[in-house]
Structure 1
Amino acid sequence: MYEQKTKETDASVIEFIEAVESPKKREDAYRLLDIFTETTGFDAKMWGPTIIGFGSYHYVYKTGHEGDAPLVGFSPRKAKTSLYFATGDTERDELLKQFGKHTSGKSCVYINKVDDIDIEVLRDLIVQSVTFLRKNYPES
């Protein structure tokens, strides 16, 4: 049976951020922590060893695979900071066009630094993601 790797933990978000080696990445992590907390109204929680997540939802795929995930989140990684937003909504793609300097993977948006992005668009992406997931996973 599949066991979900990324689960909410009791680890300290502040201790995790304090352990980030780069002072600039650490400063950006604190800025993102404030923005995500203010925008979502959720307390930050560690998901697995490296993701700072806000809120949660329960998903069930057509295959029967199910699990829990944060509604939104971020991770200050060595190379780039990963931002986690819901996929599958065209509004996300439109917002990303106005976001600033970034690259996108399947579910992640990568930034070098917070100064490269538009903070208001970041707030819009957070709200869009939470709204989209709450609509599609109402039992969460």
Structure 2
Amino acid sequence: MYEPKTKETDSDVIQFIEDTVENPKKKQDAYRLLEIFEETSGFPPKMWGTSIIGFGSYHYVYESGHEGDAPLVGFSPRKAKTSLYFATGDPDREQLLAKFGKHTSGKSCVYINKLEDIDTDVLKELITESIDFLQTLYREYN
């Protein structure tokens, strides 16, 4: 049976930032993102796996039968870029990203270099939209 690697842990979020984010500017951005995500989501930060700071959680079940738990939204202050985690499949995501600012995106992540590159009001909209989308999509499992 498949065992997900990214699970909620009891690791300390502040300790994670202090121990792993070396660049002072990136550390400052991490603390500001922590503030924005917590205030906007209404959920306390929790470590997911070894490097993702997640907010809230939901239980998902795919058509294939694969299921698990994941944070509703989150971020990871990585060495090269900061990864932001929002819902995939949300039709409003692309419209919000169009006015988000300088970023790149993959299937499930949005990558930014620094907080000044993005519109934090749009970030708050992305957080709220992602949470609403996932809670609606997986309502029957949560």
Judge same fold: TM > 0.5, yes or no: yes
Partner Cα separation in structure 1 for residue 23 and residue 66 of structure 2: 37
Q: TM-score, normalised by structure 1?
A: 0.99
CA distance in 2, matches of 1:13, 1:89: 28
- Structure 1 stretches lacking a partner, 5+ long: none
* CA distance in structure 2 between the aligned counterparts of 1:74 and 1:68, rounded to whole angstroms: 16
Structure 1 ranges of 4+ moved more than 4 A? none
2:134 match: 133
Alignment partner, residue 86 of structure 1: 87
Does residue 10 of structure 1 match 2:10? yes
In the other structure, the counterpart of 1:36 is 37
TM-score, normalised via structure 2 length = 0.97
**Cα distance in 1, alignment partners of residues 61 and 89 from structure 2:** 15
What's the CA shift for 1:63? Answer: 1.0
The residue that corresponds to 2:23 in the other structure is 22
The gaps in structure 2 that reach 5 residues or longer are: none
SS in 2 for 1:89: coil
CA RMSD in angstroms, aligned pairs only: 0.6
**Which residue in 2 is equivalent to 1:102?**
103
Aligned mates of 2:133, 2:61 — CA distance in 1: 15
Q: How many residues of Structure 1 are paired with residues of Structure 2 in the alignment?
A: 140
Shift of the alpha carbon at 1:83? 0.1
